[in-house]
């Protein structure tokens, strides 16, 4: 596993199967996200530039494609294990990879605990030499629950 060596073809490397998170794992991760202990690819903004009211569908598609590439580049810079040999990094690559289970291919997010961050940052974002992955329904469950925790904390603070 790991990063392909020069004599290995990335297509020949096995994909580590994704194991859906348990309820407890989802609850803990959501709480850790709302506590600010976790950095994830969802923390990197996706900002299409150059879309206006009179933009044509082609201009909108081009702006979205460029934003997706900038976002993917920043994710690779934050999670260096992906930049240095992650197989099937983007959603499109995962869907195209016949070894990847199709029912889990969307959406995909990478995350890591901030305690694992390296000593430097890139473009103001932490840099990691490891990463964890959320796929499919786990993404929606974790981010939805994390937002609930954050709203509950904010309501408690405002109630003081």
**122 falls within a domain:** yes
**39 falls within a domain:** yes
Residue-wise pLDDT tens digits, 126-143: 999 988 888 878 999 999
**CB neighbour list of residue 19: distance below 8 Å, 6 or more residues apart:** none
Model-wide pTM > 0.85: no
Ramachandran class of 122: left when φ > 0, alpha when ψ lies in -120 to 50, beta otherwise: beta
**In the chain, what percentage of residues exceed pLDDT 70?**
75
Containing structural domain, residue 43: 21-158
Q: Specify the pLDDT at position 142.
A: 95
**13 falls within a domain:** no
CA dihedral sign of residues 46, 51, 55, 59? negative
Residue-wise pLDDT tens digits, 85-98: 654 445 555 556 55
Residue-wise pLDDT tens digits, 9-55: 555 555 556 778 999 999 999 999 999 999 999 999 888 787 788 88
Split into its structural domains, the chain has a count of 1
**152 falls within a domain:** yes
**151 falls within a domain:** yes
**43 falls within a domain:** yes
């Amino acid at each position: 596993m790991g990063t392909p060596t020069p004599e290995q073809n990335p297509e020949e490397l096995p994909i580590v199967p994704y194991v859906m998170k348990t309820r407890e794992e989802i609850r803990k991760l959501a709480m850790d996200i709302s506590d600010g202990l976790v950095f994830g690819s969802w923390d990197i903004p996706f900002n299409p530039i150059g879309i206006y009211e009179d933009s044509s569908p082609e201009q909108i598609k081009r702006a979205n494609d460029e934003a997706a590439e900038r976002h993917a580049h920043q994710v690779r810079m934050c999670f260096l294990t992906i930049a240095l040999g992650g197989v099937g990094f983007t959603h499109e690559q995962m869907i195209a990879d016949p070894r990847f289970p199709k029912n889990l291919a969307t959406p995909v997010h990478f995350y890591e605990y901030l305690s694992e961050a390296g000593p430097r940052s890139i473009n103001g974002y932490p840099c990691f030499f490891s990463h964890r992955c959320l796929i499919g329904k786990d993404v929606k469950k974790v981010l939805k629950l994390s937002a609930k925790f954050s709203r509950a904390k904010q309501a408690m603070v405002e109630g003081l």
